[in-house]
Structure 1
């Protein structure tokens, strides 16, 4: 149902470094930077697998933390996402594992990004 979404980040380069590493295991990467003349000088970039679907927009006020979940194609991708996000400076908010209180096949992992957003990778298929 969601076509794309964006978050506000305080330090674009720090967030880009984090998401470059955290998204790689999910097969996603930075696909586009919006030219500064269209953003009023703010850095805006979009991540995705085949088109930009997750956007970072640099601004001074990030507001309260949010929760974003990204689809993983396997439990191994969830594990790799968590490891990459931690290695990139993310803070653990839930190691990879089953979350049967959501659904019997719900396998997810959670990290806080540099701005305190709760970022998740989740696989809904049985291993």
Structure 2
């Protein structure tokens, strides 16, 4: 049996400040913002924003108050190193890059071939406002 990812949820420092960035990113990735949901889970004292799609869901959530000021580092135990989204074409990778630029997004590597990952590995690497690393990749 093959298992696929159903949803990914990332904790951000301030969900209200992060929401505009993720609205733009998720819409560019093909999520329909009219299907976006906000929820508060009182038993967890957690706010959640979910971007819904038939293929999978992507969400952001609020931290516990004692962690709100912690620095994010992708090499901490338990942290997500980065999340990579697959693009169908290199032009689609470039399109996300063009959307991120006016938002003053921290670009780690602009779209290019990354030979260390293979001869066709065309990818963009960037960070969200909290420093969480993302990748958009076309590998053909």
TM tier, smaller: 0.7 to 0.9
**How far did residue 28 of structure 1 move?**
2.4
Q: 6, 9, 13: which one pairs with 1:3? A: 6
Equivalent residue, structure 1, for 2:116: 101
Q: TM-score, normalised by structure 2?
A: 0.74
- The structural deviation recorded for 1:34 is 4.6
In 2 relative to 1, CA 103–12 (structure 1 residues): closer, same or farther, beyond 3 Å? Answer: same
Native 8 Å contact 2:72 2:132 kept in 1: no
Q: Structure 1 residues 87, 104: CA separation in 2 closer, same or farther (over 3 Å shift)?
A: same
Paired residues, number: 125
Partners in 2 of 1:46 and 1:112 — Cα distance? Answer: 19
Unaligned 5+ segments in structure 1 are none
- Give the TM-score taking structure 1 as reference length: 0.81
- Within 5 A, what are the aligned runs for 1:107-126? 107-125=122-140
Conserved? CA contact 1:33–1:45, under 8 Å: yes
Q: Are residues 118 and 37 of structure 1, via their aligned partners in 2, closer, same or farther at CA, if it must alter by over 3 Å?
A: closer
